[in-house]
């Protein structure tokens, strides 16, 4: 399996992809230095969102649940999308 396929299967962009997008953001901002971390984080967020959207359109999700989210404790949990159902989970 190629590295590109491996990255796509995990849903995480590679450092090369993030770097290229961060450089585009840097150029769009007028090549002003001092925002490297902001550019990197924005690029990563955009690419992750793009990957999630691509996977969402390819999957057969019936709309009852949102994508799994990673919690601080490292567990993946699925969040129900029904807003009127009270939660019994304590945070």
pLDDT in tens, 30-73: 999 999 999 999 999 999 999 888 877 665 555 555 555 555 65
C-alpha dist (Å) from residue 57 to 60, 61, 63, 83: 8, 8, 11, 23
Asked whether residue 35 is domain-assigned, the answer is yes
Cα separation, 89 vs 60, whole angstroms: 28
Q: Is residue 19 a part of any domain in this protein?
A: yes
81 is a domain residue: no
Which two tokens mark 51? 């990957």
Residue 25 neighbours by CB under 8 Å, 6+ apart: 39, 42, 43
Q: Which two structure tokens, joined as six digits, stand for 73? A: 């404790």
Is 52 within the bounds of a domain? yes
In terms of pTM, does the model score above 0.75? no
Does residue 12 have a pLDDT over 60?
yes
Domain that holds residue 55: 13-60
In a domain, 23, yes or no: yes
């Amino acid at each position: 399996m190629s590295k590109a396929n491996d990255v796509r299967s995990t849903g995480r962009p590679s450092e090369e992809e993030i770097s290229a997008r961060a450089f585009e953001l840097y150029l769009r901002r007028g090549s002003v230095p001092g925002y490297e971390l902001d550019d990197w984080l924005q690029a990563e967020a955009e690419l992750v969102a793009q990957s999630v959207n691509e996977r969402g359109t390819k999957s057969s999700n019936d709309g009852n649940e949102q994508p799994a989210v990673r919690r601080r404790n490292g567990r993946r949990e699925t969040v129900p999308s029904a807003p009127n159902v009270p939660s019994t989970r304590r945070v």
